[in-house]
Amino acid sequence: MKRNHLQSLEPKLGGMPEAEGLNFFLDDLNLNLLMRFYVSEDEYEKVLPLLSKMGEVAGTELDELSREADQNPPELISYNRQGERVDIIRYHPSYHRLEEIGYGEFGLVVMSHRPGVMGWPTPFSRVLKYAFWYLFAQSEFGLCCPMSMTDSAARVIEQYASPEIKNKYIPRMVSTDTSELWTGAQFMTEKQGGSDVGTNLVTAKKAGDHWELWGDKWFCSNVSADVALVLARPEGASAGTKGLAMFLVPKKLENGERNRYRINRLKDKLGTRDMASGEVTFEGAVGYVIGNIDSGFKQMMSMVNSSRLSNAVRSAAMMRRSFTEALVTVRGRKAFGQALIDLPLMRESLFELLLITEAASSAIFYTAHVFDQAEGNHEESKKLLRILTPLLKGTVCKQARYVTAEAMEIRGGNGYIEEWVNPKLVRDAHVGSIWEGTTNIVALDVLRAIHKDDGGRAFISDLEKRLSGLKNAHVQRAAELCRGKMEKFKEQVEQIVQGRSLEQEISAKRFMVRMYHLFTASLLLQEAEFQLSSNGGYRKLYLFIHYFQRYLHLEDDTGIFDKNVNEWLDAIIDWESIPENIIDPLLTVMEKNVKVSSKAPTK
């Protein structure tokens, strides 16, 4: 195999390497394997140059622009020279160039809406779409929020709006010409609470063919959007979420004047600093009802769900970037006379990041695949997508905080300095767990998906199908380990189906994390089987064994596993062949441990 930039670094005392000028696609053999797994051979060949282009741009121009935009946040211009209220957001030119790349050159928002983006003959599948996003978000996270909202707002309008609204707004929202483009936003959260949306106070009064909105919204990302989807309570509607309607609020009125809402100020945020989030007051703003007047919340949740998945993709992307930065650091820097990567404890630090990062990528691309099937009206896939979406939002976004922070520490003091990419990654990674529903809220949503929407059963049946489809003898042995961990889980799911108890609510987050590990472990096995069937060796199976040992069977003696990481880390990183005779003893030890501890009394 050709040595790439990540392999050929020379460790130096005082070396301060960074992942400059990489091609994030060509240097990521894991993403490559996932594409080969999920995409037909023909499609894979055709998409390679496009993904390589995205990988190259992400590793070079995008990275520079993102750094510049992050250091030059947008400004709110409330008044013009004549003292008239204008509420314009002034962005740094680097942000506009990011928009051209994201919305325009790669058509990231519209690629699954319509054919023709980058010459692709059909709309891109979710799997391919998220591969592009995965590469883009390794450098630029802030703009992904407006892009994702534009994407999901267009989808909601397409699904629920009247033909007049669709004809007027959709063509502009799916344009790749940034001078024509109308971007989207969702204004839902108010001062009194974002989780408890049913307390929303913004009201809507009927005024002829439209409505007028009154009141305050407290968090409005992409506040300069041309089209905002807003939740408001029509006069006389009931309390709670049932009384909320969804309104399309354009920035400009038919006569070209600004719609009647004020942007009060911009948020001074920890992360996503290049993207403008603001506070808004509606003063009789013109709005048009979208869909059913009493289904506003339900419709908004379909927008939120699509953004939740996109959030998980972006979080996984930030993990990958963090891992790359960590790898470059440990291969290019020395301490105590050795490359950092040769220090045993650092080997462990890096391996941990690799495991979490690869498992997250398995989770997002499988879920994207389920999304594709659900779009084809496959009922079982819809149920599965219903539960996988909060599952990934709750776990992957949280892990991104850990992985970005660990990578920052691996870079040492420089990692804490704003000239390096790590602080931006850490800052950006933190918001994924808060917006679109905090971790607690999505953990409770996982319970709801099991209790109300049959998601638990769909999840178990999917897992069992995956495990029973495995053919390789070693992989089958590993699958047995997974099955052993499923019994208790199945019981818990059944209890949740029967009714939600206080005890279940208290442990919802722990339950969600365990569920995620079972899910990703089974995906690693599926990938292991694929890798073996294409003569790719035992790398993925090796990762499964270590993943299982760390996250699903925590109480084992780690001796043999630690020794093993120390010995094989470089081969794992560089995708060199892992021999069969390494796998066998690990499986044997694991089988013994699982048996022993399953007999042990529960604490």
Ligand X SMILES: Cc1cc2nc3c(=O)[nH]c(=O)nc-3n(C[C@H](O)[C@H](O)[C@H](O)COP(=O)(O)OP(=O)(O)OC[C@H]3O[C@@H](n4cnc5c(N)ncnc54)[C@H](O)[C@@H]3O)c2cc1C
What tokens appear for 283 in the block? 């003063």
Judging by beta carbons within 10 Å of its beta carbon (0-12, 13-18, 19+), is residue 348 exposed, middle or buried? Answer: middle
By beta-carbon proximity to ligand X, the closer residue of 64 and 196 is 196
Residues numbered 238-277 forming contacts with ligand X, rule: CB under 6 A: 269, 272, 277
Q: Is the dihedral of CA 383, 385, 390, 394 positive or negative?
A: positive
Q: Which of 120, 214, 261, 435 is the binder for ligand X (CB under 6 A)?
A: 435
Q: Which segment (76-84, 109-117, 166-174, 439-447) binds ligand X by CB under 6 A? A: 439-447
Residues numbered 302-331 forming contacts with ligand X, rule: CB under 6 A: none
Using rule CB under 6 A, residue 297 touches ligand X: no
By beta-carbon proximity to ligand X, the closer residue of 272 and 362 is 272
- Smallest distance from the beta carbon of 210 to ligand X, in angstroms? 22
Measured from each CB, the residue nearest to ligand X is 194
Cβ proximity of 103 and 143 under 8 Å: no
- Smallest distance from the beta carbon of 188 to ligand X, in angstroms? 3
Cα 348 from Cα 355, distance rounded (Å): 11
Q: Which of 24, 37, 219, 511 is the binder for ligand X (CB under 6 A)?
A: 219
Cα 202 from Cα 282, distance rounded (Å): 8
Q: Which of 125, 152, 186, 389 is the binder for ligand X (CB under 6 A)?
A: 186
Residues numbered 275-294 forming contacts with ligand X, rule: CB under 6 A: 277
- Smallest distance from the beta carbon of 187 to ligand X, in angstroms? 6
- Smallest distance from the beta carbon of 3 to ligand X, in angstroms? 41
- Smallest distance from the beta carbon of 74 to ligand X, in angstroms? 13
Residues numbered 57-76 forming contacts with ligand X, rule: CB under 6 A: none
- What residues contact residue 44 under an 8 Å CB cut-off, 6+ apart? 35, 36
Using rule CB under 6 A, residue 189 touches ligand X: yes
Cα 452 from Cα 256, distance rounded (Å): 46
- What residues contact residue 529 under an 8 Å CB cut-off, 6+ apart? 470, 471, 472, 475
- What residues contact residue 379 under an 8 Å CB cut-off, 6+ apart? none
Q: Which of 111, 157, 188, 450 is the binder for ligand X (CB under 6 A)?
A: 188
By beta-carbon proximity to ligand X, the closer residue of 272 and 422 is 272
- Smallest distance from the beta carbon of 427 to ligand X, in angstroms? 11
The residues facing 261 across adjacent strands are: 282
Element (H, E) at 263: strand 261-266
By beta-carbon proximity to ligand X, the closer residue of 269 and 448 is 269
- Smallest distance from the beta carbon of 446 to ligand X, in angstroms? 13
Collapsed DSSP state (helix, strand, coil) of residue 89 = strand
Which region, left, alpha or beta, applies to residue 268 given φ > 0 means left and ψ of -120 to 50 means alpha?
beta
Q: Which segment (1-9, 190-198, 368-376, 569-577) binds ligand X by CB under 6 A? A: 190-198
Q: What are phi and psi of 173, to 5 degrees?
A: -75, -20
Q: What are phi and psi of 282, to 5 degrees?
A: -85, 130
Q: Is the dihedral of CA 183, 149, 278, 239 positive or negative?
A: positive
- Smallest distance from the beta carbon of 433 to ligand X, in angstroms? 9
By beta-carbon proximity to ligand X, the closer residue of 150 and 272 is 272
Judging by beta carbons within 10 Å of its beta carbon (0-12, 13-18, 19+), is residue 165 exposed, middle or buried? Answer: middle
- Smallest distance from the beta carbon of 441 to ligand X, in angstroms? 5
- Smallest distance from the beta carbon of 594 to ligand X, in angstroms? 33
Q: Which segment (12-20, 48-56, 215-223, 568-576) binds ligand X by CB under 6 A? A: 215-223
Using rule CB under 6 A, residue 187 touches ligand X: yes
- What residues contact residue 35 under an 8 Å CB cut-off, 6+ apart? 44, 47, 51, 127, 128, 131
Using rule CB under 6 A, residue 441 touches ligand X: yes
Cα 332 from Cα 6, distance rounded (Å): 9
Strands 277-289, 245-250: pairing kind:
antiparallel
CA distances from 251 to 129, 210, 227, 286 (A): 29, 15, 6, 9
Using rule CB under 6 A, residue 522 touches ligand X: no
- Smallest distance from the beta carbon of 569 to ligand X, in angstroms? 37
Q: Which of 159, 195, 468, 588 is the binder for ligand X (CB under 6 A)?
A: 195
Residues in touch with ligand X (CB under 6 A): 186-189, 193-196, 219-221, 269, 272, 277, 431, 434-438, 440-441, 444
